[in-house]
Chains A and B, each alone.
Chain A
Amino acid sequence: MMPFTLDLVPIWTFILGVGVFLYVLLDGFDLGVGILFGFAPDTPSRNLIMNSIAPIWDGNETWLILGSVGLMAAFPLAFAIIIPAVYFPIAIMLLALVFRGVAFEFRYRDTDHKSFWDHGFSWGSVIATFTQGIVLGAFIQGFKVDGRHFVGSSFDCFTPFSLLTGLALVLGYALLGAGWLVLKTDGEIQVRARLHGRIALIGVLIAVAAVSIWTPLADPDIAHRWFSWPNLIFLAPVPVVTAVIAFSVWRSLTGQSEAGPFIGAIGLFLMSYLGIAISLWPMIVPHHYTLREAASSQSTQAFLLIGTLFLLPIILLYTAWSYWVFRGKVRADIGYH
């Protein structure tokens, strides 16, 4: 028997990497819109802000499911270690998403308690984002592992570093959300979105700088990867490009450009994502297991891949279609509801 073996680990790494990044971008901007929703001054502008994401937000959460199920099926060892380690942030995130998701439907129908559901929406968005940031921070820091199990406590993930990444992600999503609102609205709401975007951008840059300094200080492996020769030269474009993008986002937020802030914010997320990937590659459980070691068997990955290859184009198609159908500015007189 001549075994023809296609190496599936890189393929699954790519699918998961792209899936998680798409989740961060797509749900990122609608969570960010939810964060900024709390700062809107009156009901008409809140209605409009919510309508700008109402038709697409739940499609965006598809990628969260794809990411978590993909991790469980393709890299079960990583799933078994990481998910118990971030038990509380995940549980809190899900509960926050419950409140946020229900608010879309309830605030239109339960007008007696509209402000309750408005708070549910904005606080749900803030808390869901913050807990995702905690997961990210805990992931970068690594977990206490013995053999094939997480052996720390469920509260280990709450550290000063992970609280910082939580705050950073809230600011980052707010920036993405502001970019989306600049794109989808006009008039006073757009002016306010540009202001919020500038505040968020300053916050993001401070937070990203803090994380970028803290990470190599806390982790000699990461410091070695970035600052050893000749990596220093090869990786120098990452911070330089990030700074250039940040400058262009600022310019487009203060200027007239309507698509610039959103595209620039996506660029900033891409650079941060790349930065984290460079720091951790090829580990999926930092310091303990590589992607290959945590992978499920070849046959499992092959079986899953067949289904996924049918599914992914369909998801991408309907996602693209829904954005196409709901393209253009949102207006007060027409909406999804």
Chain B
Amino acid sequence: MVIVGNLLRRRGQLYKSTVFLRACEWAAPLGFIAVLAGWTTTEVGRQPWTVYGLFRTADSVSPSLTGLDVALSFAGYIVAYLIMFPAGGLLMARIVRRGVDVTTTEGPVEGGRPDLPVIALPGAREGGGRS
């Protein structure tokens, strides 16, 4: 995607190729998938060792921890994430659907942050809001 994007940029076609922009849209989750896949590979690949060749996973479990304890805390995490992920997803979808606010592109972009409270005292604002 990076190579194709750079080629298109050189030809001045970066924002014109519908196919490429569509592909970018679909490529958005790839980084996320790559992180999860890499993580899964290391965690599965090192089994049955916690410290490879030295310390087995079965020996590194806390003796006091019962299956019920783990099930309970796991259920807690599931409940929390069942609330968080859909809420976050819906919010992101809403932001995307609303689209880019064209009026904000007037003047230099200040990283999307408002003026610093210290500098943004009355009077300093007319000075063009440096940050």
Instruction: Mark A residues whose CB is within 8 Å of B.
Output: 80, 83-85, 87-88, 91-92, 95, 98-99, 102, 106, 109-110, 113, 149-154, 325-328, 330-331, 334-337
A84 to B70 CA separation, bound complex (whole angstroms): 11
Q: Is the CB of A154 within 8 A of B117?
A: no
A29 CB to closest chain B CB (Å) equals 18
B52 CB to closest chain A CB (Å) equals 18
* B13-21, B26-34, B38-46, B61-69 - the one binding chain A: B61-69
Q: Is the CB of B117 within 8 A of A328?
A: yes
Q: Is the CB of B64 within 8 A of A154?
A: yes
Residues 78 to 131 of chain B near chain A (Cβ within 8 Å): 80, 84, 87-88, 91, 94-95, 113-118, 120
Q: Is the CB of B118 within 8 A of A325?
A: yes
Q: Is the CB of B65 within 8 A of A84?
A: yes
Partner of B95, one of A85, A92, A109: A109
Q: Is the CB of B76 within 8 A of A109?
A: no
Name, among B73, B88, B114, the residue most crowded by chain A CB atoms within 10 Å (CB to CB): B73
A335 to B117 CA separation, bound complex (whole angstroms): 7
Partner of A152, one of B64, B91, B120: B64
A-side contacts of B65, CB under 8 Å: 84, 87, 154
Q: Is the CB of A102 within 8 A of B118?
A: no
A-side contacts of B117, CB under 8 Å: 326, 328, 330-331, 334-335
A-B contact count (CB 8 A): 71
Name, among B73, B94, B115, B117, the residue most crowded by chain A CB atoms within 10 Å (CB to CB): B117
Q: Is the CB of B76 within 8 A of A95?
A: yes
Q: Is the CB of B73 within 8 A of A87?
A: yes
Q: Is the CB of A91 within 8 A of B84?
A: no
A-side contacts of B73, CB under 8 Å: 87-88, 91
Assuming the A-B contacts A88-B73, A106-B87, A334-B115, are A95 and B64 also in contact, with contact meaning beta carbons closer than 8 angstroms in the complex? no
B42 CB to closest chain A CB (Å) equals 19
Q: Is the CB of B76 within 8 A of A99?
A: no
A106 to B77 CA separation, bound complex (whole angstroms): 19
A326 to B120 CA separation, bound complex (whole angstroms): 11
Assuming the A-B contacts A149-B63, A150-B64, A154-B69, are A95 and B80 also in contact, with contact meaning beta carbons closer than 8 angstroms in the complex? yes
B-side contacts of A336, CB under 8 Å: 113-114
A-side contacts of B120, CB under 8 Å: 334
Q: Is the CB of A110 within 8 A of B118?
A: no
Q: Is the CB of B64 within 8 A of A149?
A: yes
Nearest residue in B to A95 (C-beta to C-beta)?
Answer: B80
Q: Is the CB of B76 within 8 A of A92?
A: yes
Nearest residue in B to A324 (C-beta to C-beta)?
Answer: B118
B-side contacts of A84, CB under 8 Å: 62-65
A95 CB to closest chain B CB (Å) equals 5
A22 CB to closest chain B CB (Å) equals 24
9 closest Cβ pairs, A-B complex = A84-B62, A91-B73, A154-B69, A149-B63, A84-B64, A150-B64, A95-B80, A334-B117, A334-B120
Nearest residue in B to A113 (C-beta to C-beta)?
Answer: B87
A-side contacts of B64, CB under 8 Å: 84-85, 87, 149-154
B-side contacts of A83, CB under 8 Å: 62
Assuming the A-B contacts A84-B64, A85-B64, A336-B114, are A91 and B76 also in contact, with contact meaning beta carbons closer than 8 angstroms in the complex? yes
Q: Is the CB of A327 within 8 A of B118?
A: yes
Nearest residue in A to B72 (C-beta to C-beta)?
Answer: A88
B122 CB to closest chain A CB (Å) equals 9
Assuming the A-B contacts A95-B76, A106-B91, are A154 and B66 also in contact, with contact meaning beta carbons closer than 8 angstroms in the complex? yes
Q: Is the CB of B87 within 8 A of A150?
A: no
B-side contacts of A109, CB under 8 Å: 91, 94-95
6 contacts between A and B (CB under 8 A): A84-B64, A85-B64, A87-B64, A91-B73, A109-B95, A326-B117
Assuming the A-B contacts A92-B76, A102-B84, are A87 and B116 also in contact, with contact meaning beta carbons closer than 8 angstroms in the complex? no
B10 CB to closest chain A CB (Å) equals 38
Q: Is the CB of A99 within 8 A of B63?
A: no
B-side contacts of A334, CB under 8 Å: 114-115, 117, 120
A30 CB to closest chain B CB (Å) equals 17
A-side contacts of B84, CB under 8 Å: 98, 102
A-side contacts of B63, CB under 8 Å: 84, 149-151
Q: Is the CB of B87 within 8 A of A328?
A: no
A81 to B64 CA separation, bound complex (whole angstroms): 10
A335 to B116 CA separation, bound complex (whole angstroms): 8
